[in-house]
């Protein structure tokens, strides 16, 4: 059995929207604002498992924490420039664990607020 390559680009945005219970249009908006990982300074059409962690973090910051695109861009830049790969991955894993504990009803309550 081969090991999984979490950096291989395999998932389209439509599949990610299903995984995150997010509207595809919302994710496209984040993509248009260049809040998602780029490949050779171009928007990607397929995303890796590691990219999904960033996308989930962006979605969390925008939907739950209500941070605007400029703020999210600043946070992502700070993470990219000030954390080595191991610390960045540990941080994103910690965020992923916290996101798993947010129930769907909590998200709907926040969206209706």
Q: What is the mean pLDDT of the chain?
A: 84
pTM: 0.79
- Tell me the pLDDT tens digit for each residue of 53-72: 899 999 989 988 899 999 99
Residue 1 has pLDDT above 50, yes or no: no
Residues 19/52, Cβ–Cβ less than 8 Å: yes
pLDDT for residue 16: 93
What is the predicted pLDDT for the residue at 106? Answer: 57
Domain parsing of the chain, residue ranges = 13-105
Q: 82 burial class (0-12, 13-18, 19+ CB within 10 angstroms)?
A: exposed
Q: What is the pLDDT of residue 107?
A: 56
**pLDDT of 2-14, one tens digit each?**
578 888 989 999 9
């Amino acid at each position: 059995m081969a090991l999984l390559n979490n950096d291989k680009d395999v998932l389209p945005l439509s599949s990610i929207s299903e995984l995150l219970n997010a509207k595809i249009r919302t994710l496209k908006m984040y993509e248009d604002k260049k809040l998602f990982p780029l490949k050779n300074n171009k928007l990607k059409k397929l995303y890796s498992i590691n990219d999904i962690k960033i996308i989930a973090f962006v979605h969390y910051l925008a939907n739950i924490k209500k941070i605007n695109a400029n703020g999210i861009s600043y946070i992502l830049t700070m993470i990219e420039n000030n954390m080595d790969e191991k610390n960045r991955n540990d941080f994103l894993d910690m965020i992923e664990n916290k996101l798993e504990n947010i129930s769907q009803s909590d998200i709907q309550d926040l969206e209706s607020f």
